[in-house]
Structure 1
Amino acid sequence: MSLTETKSRKASNTLLVALFVAVLISALLGWHFVLHPNEVSTDDAQIDGHVHPINTRIGGTITWVNPNVEDTYYVTAGTVIAHLDPNDYQPTVNRLEGDVQASVAQERAAALNLPIASETALSRLTSAQASLVEAEADLESALSQKTASEATVAQTEANYRRAEDDRVRYQALVATHEISRSEYDQREADSKGTGALLAAAQANSAGADQKIEAARQKIKERQSDLRMAETAPASIASARANVLRASGETKKSQAALWNAQLDLGYTNLVAPVSGIVGRKSMEVGQRVAANQLMLTLVPPKDVWAIANFRETQMKKMRIGQSATVHVDSVGRDFQGTVESIGGATGSKYSVIAPDNATGNYVKVVQRIPVRIRLNGLEAAGPLLLPGMSIEVSVRVSP
């Protein structure tokens, strides 16, 4: 057999094999379509779930790491993962506790002083008003005394003049021996006595003037005291403002203390959820910054399926339809339900979204993410992990 015939026979065999494979695939697809005419499938799917990043809330130095926290280990919620050095934050808490105590003491003192200040201010006002009334009464009394003393001076002065006139007349008569010496002496004594009464009345009148002046000066002083005492409402308002100011300072210091206590509490790194540890990156003595990633936790039970169906397969797909999920890693099927359908194609969620207005457009069938809720995971055991490859079939409406 020639070389040419050998090559021709090999080419014919290859063609027959390719044709057989094509026919077989077409038959399988046709048979699948016959058995499942209302089912759409895709292998562009995977298990998805929550991956919780565990970051530090504050900066510090790691002093202890839980030996039971390692990559692939399972930890429960509330487990202490690591400790940061609390000595960086305890002094601040101690200082702020002192500030809070001082602020509370000032607030209490201001609250106790408020009724005292109010009572004192009102008492001063009442006392000043009463003192002014008393001073005005003293002035009226002094004016009355002045009027009376002036009347007494006038009467006494008239009596003195009459007595002096009698003395002068009797002096002339005694010189001519018309009256006795004793009668003259009587008139002279009356004149001197009346003169003394006049001097006393004039002295009383001058004293009344002094009392009037003193009473008027006292009124001025009492009026000044009253003006000062009339600031009682302002004094009371100031005392109340001091209470509010002290209360505000207390709240500020308490807030600062609360924040410091939170920072101190953050020195204990605690697992917020139960899950499998991954990407652990912490060691004793390591200096970490705030918000630095320490590890991740993946809850193995809280998973679902994400299947990316072609847009041509979405015509009859609806939320609530039944689905079958085949997991390659465990070689078994799980039943599920279409829970939600994505709001856009996968390409729209990419970092660089496609722009079809460039002039070189090639139509590509897009894929739309569909979320499948898996049933019976609690009984299935920890078999499904985010990222596992799966095949999803959804039974759509006919």
Structure 2
Amino acid sequence: MTDTANNQAQNEQQGKNSRKRKVYFIGLILVLAAAGLGVYFYHETYGRFYESTDDAYVDGNLIELTPQVSGTVVSIAVDNGDFVEKGQTLVQLDPSDSEVQLQSAEAELAHTVRQVRGLYSNVDGYKAQVSEKQVEVQRAEADYARRLKLSKGGAISKEDLAHARDALNAARSALTNAKQQLDSNAALVDDTVLSSHPEIRAAAAKVKQAYLAHERTTIKAPESGYIAQRSVQLGKHVQPGAALMAVVPLHQVWIDANFKETQLRDMRIGQEVEVESDLYGDDIVYRGKVESLGVGTGSAFSLLPAQNASGNWIKIVQRLPVRIRLEGDNLQKHPLRIGLSTKVTVDLHNQDGALLPPKSPDEPRYETNVYDRQIAAADELIKQLIHDNGPAAVAMADTEVAKH
């Protein structure tokens, strides 16, 4: 009896354990099903409308400053990390040589202006000579006509008539010669004023070139930003194109996010983006928009692009760069630095944007007017030199003489 009771108890215990395992198994299936449904609903309601990557970095303009003329560095106004304003002087080259060249060009222009003034005066002189010769021809023609009538009546000899004819021919030859000289000199100044004469314009171009060379000994910041990569040293003789330092405008930074090609199907220009930087963590969120989608993968533009024509080819998911334009709301309080790591999340709800820009930009993306004043100042200098050595200067001198 005892063995039978024990067997019954063991069977009952095994039955209970089997039922528990079935309950646990069913519960596990229900949990997995619920998790699967949760993942499905999450994907359908939220997940499929967002794409994110942490393969994203801050990028921006690195404005490299290089001299346009050679010279010796005599002054450096800034160092790495300093903030500079647009148009601020950063490096000064020795201006001695350029000053001498500018003074020589100014003197040459002044000399040329006075020479060209002589050409205009010559034309006026030859015009007066032509008028004088015309009067002499008219006088000789009248004398010859009078003597011709007298010779017909026998009042004068044929020799006197021949002398009158020779005098007329000589007067006509002198008039022709004067007209030729007038035409030759007039050709040098026709359809020009003093400032537009070719010789003066050539001399003015030399002044402008010398002035620009002198101005370029002062190297200015083309944009406001922070100094980086300073390599220039005092006393160094630099050549055009040598890297001196760089200006980094941190208010113009953007994000270059590298998305997998499988993530780009629904990505469009203009979609909203949220950016978190590793520097500040998820407490600070930057907002922006998709500005452009890459036109090629990073490997395609690398120095040694991949060659997949071999038998050892393995398919690798490629990444394409996506540029994110940041809004300026948090950049002032929490500035980013070039090269920082970020996490980017793109909202895919808006599908109205294009995959590629439909047209070229209407205005330049970046420009500076720091150098515009150089040409204007050179033109003012040339204008003043022409004025000081032109007819106006002569008129002023005559006025001063008359006063005394």
Q: Which of the pair has more CA radius of gyration? A: 1
Matched residue, 1:264: 214
> What SS does the aligned partner of 1:371 have?
strand
The alignment status of 1:213 with 2:224, answered yes or no, reads no
The alignment status of 1:307 with 2:253, answered yes or no, reads no
The alignment status of 1:114 with 2:60, answered yes or no, reads no
Percent of aligned positions that are identical: 28
- Cα distance in 1 for residues equivalent to 2:55 and 2:88: 37
Q: 1:348 to 1:377 in 2, by over 3 A?
A: farther
> What SS does the aligned partner of 1:230 have?
helix
Matched residue, 1:248: 198
The letter for the 1-side match of 2:115 is Q
Matched residue, 1:60: 71
The alignment status of 1:71 with 2:80, answered yes or no, reads yes
> What SS does the aligned partner of 2:79 have?
coil
Aligned residues: 308
- Cα distance in 2 for residues equivalent to 1:379 and 1:92: 47
Q: Which of 82, 86, 98 is 2:91 aligned to?
A: 82
Matched residue, 1:5: none
Matched residue, 2:322: 370
1:83, 1:267 within 8 Å by CA — same for their partners in 2? yes
1:80, 1:268 within 8 Å by CA — same for their partners in 2? yes
Superposition deviation, residue 30 in structure 1: 4.8
Matched residue, 1:145: 154
- Cα distance in 2 for residues equivalent to 1:311 and 1:103: 68
Question: Which runs of no fewer than 5 residues in structure 1 stay unpaired?
Answer: 1-22, 147-207
> What SS does the aligned partner of 1:37 have?
helix
Matched residue, 1:326: 276
Q: Which has the higher helix share?
A: 1
Give CA deviations for 1:32-88 in whole Å, capped at 9, x if unaligned: 74752311111221111111001111111111221xx11122111122112111111
- Cα distance in 1 for residues equivalent to 2:119 and 2:265: 75
Give CA deviations for 1:67-126 in whole Å, capped at 9, x if unaligned: xx1112211112211211111111111111111111111222222332332232133134
Superposition deviation, residue 234 in structure 1: 3.2
Q: When the two structures are superposed, what TM-score results if normalisation uses the length of structure 2? A: 0.70
Give CA deviations for 1:330-376 in whole Å, capped at 9, x if unaligned: 11321111111122222232223334445654332222211111123
1:53, 1:295 within 8 Å by CA — same for their partners in 2? yes
The alignment status of 1:49 with 2:1, answered yes or no, reads no
Matched residue, 1:297: 247
- 1:121-140 to structure 2, matched below 5 A, reads 121-140=130-149
- Cα distance in 1 for residues equivalent to 2:57 and 2:331: 20
1:139, 1:216 within 8 Å by CA — same for their partners in 2? no
> What SS does the aligned partner of 1:89 have?
helix
1:138, 1:215 within 8 Å by CA — same for their partners in 2? yes
Give CA deviations for 1:221-244 in whole Å, capped at 9, x if unaligned: 321330331345433322222336
- Cα distance in 1 for residues equivalent to 2:199 and 2:147: 51
- Cα distance in 1 for residues equivalent to 2:261 and 2:336: 27
Question: Which runs of no fewer than 5 residues in structure 2 stay unpaired?
Answer: 1-31, 352-404
Superposition deviation, residue 301 in structure 1: 0.9
- Cα distance in 1 for residues equivalent to 2:114 and 2:334: 58
- Cα distance in 2 for residues equivalent to 1:356 and 1:217: 105
- Cα distance in 2 for residues equivalent to 1:321 and 1:120: 82
2:140, 2:167 within 8 Å by CA — same for their partners in 1? no
Q: 1:379 to 1:312 in 2, by over 3 A?
A: closer
- Cα distance in 1 for residues equivalent to 2:329 and 2:306: 38
The alignment status of 1:236 with 2:236, answered yes or no, reads no
Matched residue, 2:12: none
Q: When the two structures are superposed, what TM-score results if normalisation uses the length of structure 1? A: 0.71
Superposition deviation, residue 379 in structure 1: 5.6
Superposition deviation, residue 388 in structure 1: 1.0
> What SS does the aligned partner of 2:305 have?
coil
2:286, 2:330 within 8 Å by CA — same for their partners in 1? no
Superposition deviation, residue 275 in structure 1: 1.0
Matched residue, 1:94: 103
The letter for the 2-side match of 1:227 is S
> What SS does the aligned partner of 1:381 have?
coil
Of the structure 1 ranges 364-373 and 352-361, higher mean CA displacement relative to structure 2 is found in 352-361
